[in-house]
Structure 1
């Protein structure tokens, strides 16, 4: 099975709805170890994304994800704007001017997004960042597709891996971003970026279910 342009657009809209619904939770998580703005910033950005898509439906996967990325970069402050913006811009470049993505193409695009996050944020496993949810999700997606699972099922595996990665950030001591200033006091708190990434992957699984 392939993800159609309608489903890819639905993914973005579902992610925006999740961020909006959990805005206060994301901000509360960020208040413990960051600037207390992850939820409000990301909600503002995704609200702007939905408004942009309402005003002008996009003709291809590349155009869709480029619009998402550029809107986030221009409307979101803090670290999440550049990181999520870069993620979607890299996804756009990988996806290309097509109207559907098969499993391997979707996985390749998501991995390109991960590589963009790494290039921008210099994060690696165990740093207590969005990487800790996104990297296991991308690996799980690749593994499930290699096993012959259809894309929808593979995305469910990816969502489960993201959730496990998110939960695994709780005991970690942050090594990147504002949270790293807290040192040992950052342990015991769930990372807000890993939390929003888990919503992103879960939204993809829902959109393609």
Structure 2
């Protein structure tokens, strides 16, 4: 599969929304170990708003608007750092891009490279800081190195890299949030934000398998 339409892109993002909403208890459990325990609630709430907006406003004129609608819904409903960061995951990559009508490997990779750069600029986090960047950056780099033309293969590569990134967060001390104060005691636990990124990429890949 070389590309998907704007309508299929909408359904793919809706699948990611559902996956996060269904993972609310799991994300809450993960975050409660070293964080405030509210990550699952915030992410599920943001994705519920995004899903509602995607369903109400479709069909969209282009892929860019699908991502922008998702990101703005999360940004406006979640609040705080998570709203900005996860809103940027969908907003940052399409900012300034010419309209995209079909999503292929090149466009997908370019969008998420833009998202990663926007998040790193805003949050100042790097790989090893025990944040969502630990899952997103490996996924982006893996896609760039893959030189794939098949979207299913590309998303599989991204999902696997993100999952590995989540595992790696167990080895890190946190540089941000409540977990920062735990220092060495945060080692052994995975980051909730990175876990959300992994769930999103896996859900997008799984959606493509249904086409």
Structure 2-normalised TM-score?
Answer: 0.93
- Is 1:134 the counterpart of 2:136? The answer is yes
Query: Where does residue 162 of structure 2 map in the other structure?
Result: 162
Residue in structure 2 matching 1:117, options 106, 116, 119 = 119
Unaligned runs of 5+ in 1: none
Deviations 1:115-151 (A, max 9, x none): 111011111011111011111111111112x2x4512
2:208 and 2:92 mapped to 1: Cα distance? 21
2:54 and 2:149 mapped to 1: Cα distance? 31
Q: Which runs of 4+ in 1 moved over 3 A?
A: none
- Shift in alpha-carbon separation, 1:96–1:84, aligned structure 2, 3 A: farther
Query: Where does residue 68 of structure 1 map in the other structure?
Result: 70
Kindly report which structure 2 residues correspond to 1:2-21, keeping only aligned pairs within 5 A, or say none.
Answer: 2-21=3-22
2:3 and 2:149 mapped to 1: Cα distance? 12
Asked whether the equivalents of residues 34 and 178 of structure 2 are also in contact (C-alpha less than 8 Å), the reply is yes
Query: Where does residue 181 of structure 2 map in the other structure?
Result: 181
Deviation at 1:77, TM superposition (A): 2.9
Query: Where does residue 86 of structure 1 map in the other structure?
Result: 88
Query: Where does residue 33 of structure 1 map in the other structure?
Result: 34
**Partner of 2:4: helix, strand, or coil?**
strand
Deviation at 1:95, TM superposition (A): 4.9
Range moving further from structure 2, 190-199 or 89-98? 89-98
1:111 and 1:23 mapped to 2: Cα distance? 27
Asked whether the equivalents of residues 3 and 101 of structure 1 are also in contact (C-alpha less than 8 Å), the reply is yes
Asked whether the equivalents of residues 27 and 38 of structure 1 are also in contact (C-alpha less than 8 Å), the reply is yes
Unaligned runs of 5+ in 2: none
Query: Where does residue 202 of structure 2 map in the other structure?
Result: 202
Query: Where does residue 54 of structure 1 map in the other structure?
Result: 55
Asked whether the equivalents of residues 167 and 190 of structure 2 are also in contact (C-alpha less than 8 Å), the reply is yes
Asked whether the equivalents of residues 95 and 106 of structure 1 are also in contact (C-alpha less than 8 Å), the reply is no
The RMSD of aligned alpha carbons is 1.4
1:11 and 1:54 mapped to 2: Cα distance? 12
- Is 1:98 the counterpart of 2:97? The answer is no
Deviation at 1:100, TM superposition (A): 0.8
1:199 and 1:46 mapped to 2: Cα distance? 12
1:68 and 1:96 mapped to 2: Cα distance? 18
1:33 and 1:86 mapped to 2: Cα distance? 24
**Partner of 1:87: helix, strand, or coil?**
helix
Structure 1-normalised TM-score?
Answer: 0.93
